[in-house]
Structure 1
Amino acid sequence: MNTQLTVKELLDPLQTVIGVVEKKQTLPILSHVLIQLKNNQLTLTTTDMEIEIRASQAVKTQEEISFTVYAKDLIDIIRKLPETTIVEFIIEAAKIYIKANKNSFELNTFNHQDFPSLPKIENSEVIKINRKQLREIIENTSFSMGNQDIRAYLNGLYFEVNQNSITIVATDGHRLSIGEVKQDNNLTDKKTVILPRKAVLELSKILNKNEHNEVEIHLSDNYFYLASNDITLISRLIDGNFPNYSQVLPTDFENTILIDRLEFLNSLQQASIFVEERTKGVKLVFKNSQLNIFTHSERGQAKTQISTKNFSKEIEIAFNIHYLISILEKLTTDEINMVVPGGENQSCMLSSPNDETYQYVVMPMRI
């Protein structure tokens, strides 16, 4: 059995699905990509048994054939070839021979019928959302996800879907990001899921790459399914109870300070040159409508100063400087509101004035 495909036909869907493939797999077949040709359609599938991605591409060939090949080797072979190059696959029981121009390669293969797939999703709630909106809300919240935290529910992105909104939340226990899209959803009850970190990263790639205006999301008790044009992503969900994020939002807004965002960001970036590597702490001192920013390390120290509005109290507080910088880089307005702790209120919140699309919470630290 043999077939021919061009590099252009192969490369784009292969780049879409390759991120799921890990170098070390419990099952050798999981390092392979399943290639299927049927009805003038090329479909590539990869899985690690937690996430499955399928990408399809229209092709000219009339053949119907299925086979597997080692994914990393295949992409290394074709990614440096011209798009018009014809790649020939000669498929035998345990080997696949690949020919491109004057080059030939011999790779191991498996029976395509042994390629695993995630279970079919049933009893799911279906919502539709603008692709760009979903991409932006994920980009502006996912940076706060935990990474290899012992509390598994922190290592992912929390989706809360109501009849009139989609809220996405991420936290690592020290900072929290909330994004909300107002839209009508055809739901009878609220639906909540936690999408694992790896699936979030792959989802972001798909949303960045795909040009389709609208995507469809299926939410079940155990799986997340996204359909976007010729690409689908299926992921198992994290089993756990996400923290009640509303409990850490400030309730006392007396200490609300208006700050020029770019001036604040530039001052923090300059001060970060001398931040102590272990604590990454920055001290903020609000006094006489001024914000003084202090950092120090064994190499030296920095002090920068900017003006604030609507605030004359004296407050001294410290934060992880990188948390503040990452938030200010996500916000886009000229000025930001900063609610600093006062009394029993221990959390600091940053947001854009008169815009509740994004809210960012950072816990203070001792330095």
Structure 2
Amino acid sequence: MDEPVFVIHGVGNRDPQAFTTTVAALQAAAGTTLVPVYWGDLGADDRFIDLALPFRSAGLRDTPETADAPSELLLATLLDEAVEPASGDLPMPLRDAIRQGLDPSRNSGLRDGRDSPDADQVLAALADEWPTTQWLSRSDDPSLLNETGTAIARAVTCTQETDDSWAGLRGAPPADGTLRSLIRRRLADLDRVAGAAMKAVAGRMNHSLRHHLGPGATRFLGDVLVYQRHREQIHARVWEQVAAVDPELGRTPGRPVRLVAHSLGGVIAVDMATAREPLWTSSLLTFGSQSAYFHLCDPRGGQLSPYAGHEPVSLPNSLARWTNLWQPLDVLAFAASRVFRLADGTSPVDLALPHAATAGLWTHSVYWSLPELASAISEAMQPPAS
């Protein structure tokens, strides 16, 4: 009779009963006996982490003290503040919109019989003013640039006789400086509107990302910090729960365990399977895990050598097989096959799972309910072909 498969949870799990229920549902789907290994009570105290997060008012608008900084910070990332200052080279969508808007065949018959202003004259003036814009000159969005060009063209062909339009300018042709003044004012107005829109979008994006990703990310960091300091205590809990099934399991090559592990649980499993006194593991399946990333940043020790930049790190024979699942939108999931090599010379198997449309932004915990996980467990835990 096959030994059971032990399931080690990841970060942020503080409800042992809920974890047991999740594993039971996974067992039914996978058709394999699964034993939950709970260590969440040894994790970070995350009851008060919201106190460290930038806050938002209960209303629709940001509070005054937080309205500007987050948006500007995010915009600096999105727009890359390190790029060279904008030049007078006008983007093609902007040029095309100007020429189309000033096409004489489209704009003949203006009031008082005047024709459209010369497109080259307008483009030359616009090129001089373009580097002064803070937002428009950084954009490469064709729709925004096209609408900007259309607005400039309309401004200089306006048929309303005002002091702020081409038709309101006295004399034909108008002085070049007057046209430039009109373009300068219109461009500055458009740039302010674009900047306000970008700030509004970035502010909402900043809040949305914090709302959807913040709690999970902060709990992840909290448990990682605790694990780094209390690794032995958490490993002892895993040994204890394995021994509760059979005290001989995992102690020798002849009685290896089979493990399924999520997130930081995968790091725990790899650390234990590669320790100087290892948890002998015949099959490991990780999902949404970080072992490779952690080892590259800070070598894990045990029987693992640091990554030297040339060949993958050799895994000891105490970890015989390894399947690693990841999702494209899971920012806490990392690949293992380019960092490690198994003792038999093969690579761990990295498998990408499809993104579920209903998963939203935070996909780190969605694996548990995916049918692909149950299928992967059934396949990975089969004994190797003889």
TM-score interval, smaller chain: under 0.3
After TM superposition, the score normalised by the length of structure 1 is 0.21
Which is richer in helix?
Answer: 2
Higher relative contact order (CA 8 A, sep 6+): 2
Which is richer in strand?
Answer: 1
